[in-house]
Amino acid sequence: MQQAESTKPFRQQSSGRHYKDSRYRGFFQKMVARREQVLARRLLDVPYSRCNGHIVDIPCGYGRFYPLLRQLDMKVSAMDQSQAMVELYQEMDGFRPDHDHAQQADVLKPLPADADRASRALCVRLFQHLHHGELRVQALRTLGANRRRIVMTYYDDGCLHYWSKRLAMWLKGKKVRVKMIPRARFESEVAAAGLRIVKRIKLVPGLHAQTWVLLEPLDDA
């Protein structure tokens, strides 16, 4: 099964730059972005004895989480299917090319060798764009390869966001483009990839679909 091309944006350099400059400008988007940093930090701070300080950030986008990963003193392998995003990442203030690296990669394929030694993966705001369970399980297998611990988000359908989005799209006569799934379905996909949920935190309980989870290999329990 193939990922829909419409969910692989930013083919042109200028589209990545426009996204970077405009995506988190509004008041609510700024609040959401701030809370995402808090939740990422909370899950990355959970003690982890096998952590070797190396993390794969995929999809890395233009680098929203790089300052946090630097603060946590991690070696970062940043990856994204979009070359435009990879270049924005490399141009970021404070990017340490001698320590970290950014390169193009697809989460639905085995990752480049640079990611092999990473004991953790960060995957923010991708899963709502993977519309089929088969693709999500494939992505979970890639993220969890080499027994990596994963901090990631998916969109859960148990919230107002699900109904408001459906209503808004129905009124516009359009299809909902983000995939929100029931908690039980996500749990079964996680188990199918040989993983388990250690922690689960909602971005805004009852209101927003974004859900953060910390995953580890099933036999680490």
- List contacts with ligand SAM (CB under 6 A): 3, 7-10, 58-59, 61, 64, 80-82, 85, 106-108, 124-126, 129
Residue 162 or 212 having the CB closest to ligand SAM: 212
Smallest distance, ligand SAM to C-beta of residue 219, A: 27
Backbone phi, then psi, for 145, in 5-degree steps? -60, 155
Going by C-alpha positions, the residue among 126, 149, 143, 135 that lies closest to residue 210 is 126
Helix (H, G, I), strand (E, B) or coil at 202: strand
Residue 106 or 220 having the CB closest to ligand SAM: 106
Smallest distance, ligand SAM to C-beta of residue 137, A: 14
Residue 9 or 217 having the CB closest to ligand SAM: 9
Helix (H, G, I), strand (E, B) or coil at 146: helix
Going by C-alpha positions, the residue among 151, 142, 141 that lies closest to residue 194 is 141
Residue 125 or 196 having the CB closest to ligand SAM: 125
Instruction: Count the alpha carbons within 13 Å of 12 in the hemisphere toward its beta carbon.
Output: 3
Smallest distance, ligand SAM to C-beta of residue 121, A: 11
Residue nearest to ligand SAM (CB): 61
The span from the CA of 210 to the CA of 202, in Å, is: 6
Residue 3 or 77 having the CB closest to ligand SAM: 3
R_g (Cα) of the chain, nearest Å: 17
Smallest distance, ligand SAM to C-beta of residue 148, A: 15
The span from the CA of 215 to the CA of 140, in Å, is: 10
Smallest distance, ligand SAM to C-beta of residue 48, A: 21
